[in-house]
């Protein structure tokens, strides 16, 4: 499997950080940023319109990295 491109990994990391910020403080600027990042991730040339194991790994990795104890 080819490695995840740096720009895609950066966009996913920023997406998760923005989502956490938006959950804590709903702001229009954060919603717009989330939409922009979603497009970058979803339409990245790496995917070519298909869901790959690498895409699943990116999303699963971001979810596991989340601190669930903070939600309690």
3 or 15: which leads in pLDDT = 15
pLDDT band at 4 (very low <50, low <70, confident <90, very high): confident
Q: Are the C-beta atoms of residues 58 and 38 closer than 8 Å to each other?
A: no
pLDDT of 15-65, one tens digit each?
999 999 999 999 999 999 999 999 998 888 887 756 667 666 666 655 544
According to the model, what pLDDT value does residue 72 have?
41
pTM value > 0.75: no
pLDDT reading at 66 higher than 50? no
Axis crossing angle, helix 6-24 with helix 28-42, rounded to the nearest 10: 150
């Amino acid at each position: 499997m080819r490695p995840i491109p740096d720009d895609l990994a950066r966009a996913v990391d920023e997406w998760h950080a923005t989502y956490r910020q938006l959950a804590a403080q709903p702001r229009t600027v954060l919603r717009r940023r989330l939409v922009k990042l979603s497009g970058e991730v979803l339409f990245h040339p790496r995917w070519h319109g298909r869901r790959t194991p690498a895409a699943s790994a990116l999303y699963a990795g971001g979810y596991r990295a989340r601190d669930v104890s903070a939600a309690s």
